[in-house]
Amino acid sequence: MDAKPAISSAPPDASAEKVISIRGLAKSFADNAVLKGFDLDLRRGENLMVLGKSGSGKSVLIKCIVRLLDADAGSINVLGQDVLGLDQDALDRIRVKIGFLFQSSALYDSMTVQENLEFPLRRHWIAKGAQDTESLVEEVLTAVGLPQTRAMYPSELSGGMKRRIGLARTLILKPEIVLYDEPTTGLDPISGKEIVELILELQRTYGTSSIIISHDLHVAKLAANRIALLHEGRNYLEGTYQDLLASDDPLVKKFFIFM
């Protein structure tokens, strides 16, 4: 991949279409109320970061968006559809449009990189049609800068490479929206920065709209057009990296203690 300047791309127009709109989202596990009326809008072409401390409910939030978890209350609209009201068929169709990069890369150890990449295609083949598997695998491996790994097994890849292959597998369905759960956690700073540059490149090349879940402020600085702070189950505040850096709010200051 070409070296790219480490700057966020221009924020999309504030009037751009909302591709995700979340209102009053609530989710509890027994007496553990994790989300308590969370609101969020993602606009087309935007990289929106959700920042929050460990255990604040960031992964729960994105699992609710793709209905890997069932929300207790509230509404989630994705690409004009009320996700919480969809039947299984309609849910499958919308899930094809949403890429989800798991906190762990979640590759199948017994499959080669190529087989791992073909897996979502086989599942959703009817929905996608046209372009052949071989050229799609080639395209996404090139996009993540790992065209030589096709025949390798996950055990032969480094942590950073696995993360990239996980991303390639997300991209193979050409999603309109990508949800990244901790894309840089556990990576060394150089591999982490490469992933951030990849996220920016995907935003530019494919016009992807993304929610990036992280507690890594470098990601916030380099990749986020806008940041929402998830605190005590709510969207505590939103702003650009610069807004948050300049904020006097004691909670925001806590996050910026090392910056």
Ligand X SMILES: Nc1ncnc2c1ncn2[C@@H]1O[C@H](COP(=O)(O)OP(=O)(O)OP(=O)(O)O)[C@@H](O)[C@H]1O
Site residues (CB under 6 A) for ligand X? 29, 32, 34, 52, 54-60, 215
Question: Which one of ligand X, Mg ion, none interacts with residue 233, CB within 5 to 8 A by kind?
Answer: none
Question: Which one of Mg ion, ligand X, none interacts with residue 56, CB within 5 to 8 A by kind?
Answer: ligand X
> Residue 183 CB, nearest distance to Mg ion (Å)?
12
Distance CA 18, CA 201 (A): 21
> Residue 231 CB, nearest distance to Mg ion (Å)?
15
Contact by Cβ (8 Å): 149, 165: yes
Pick between residue 59 and residue 81 the one whose CB is nearest to Mg ion.
59
> Residue 221 CB, nearest distance to ligand X (Å)?
18
Please spell the DSSP secondary structure of 147-179, one letter per residue.
GGGTT--GGGS-HHHHHHHHHHHHHTT--SEEE
Question: Which one of Mg ion, ligand X, none interacts with residue 32, CB within 5 to 8 A by kind?
Answer: ligand X
> Residue 182 CB, nearest distance to ligand X (Å)?
6
How many other C-beta atoms lie within 10 A of the C-beta of residue 72?
Answer: 15
Pick between residue 186 and residue 189 the one whose CB is nearest to ligand X.
186
- Which of the stretches 56-64, 70-78, 82-90, 237-245 binds Mg ion when contact is defined by CB under 5 A? 56-64
How many other C-beta atoms lie within 10 A of the C-beta of residue 236?
Answer: 17
Residue type at 124 in one-letter notation = H
What are the beta bridge partners of residue 180? Answer: 101, 212
Distance CA 47, CA 201 (A): 11
Q: Which residues bind Mg ion (CB under 5 A)?
A: 58-59
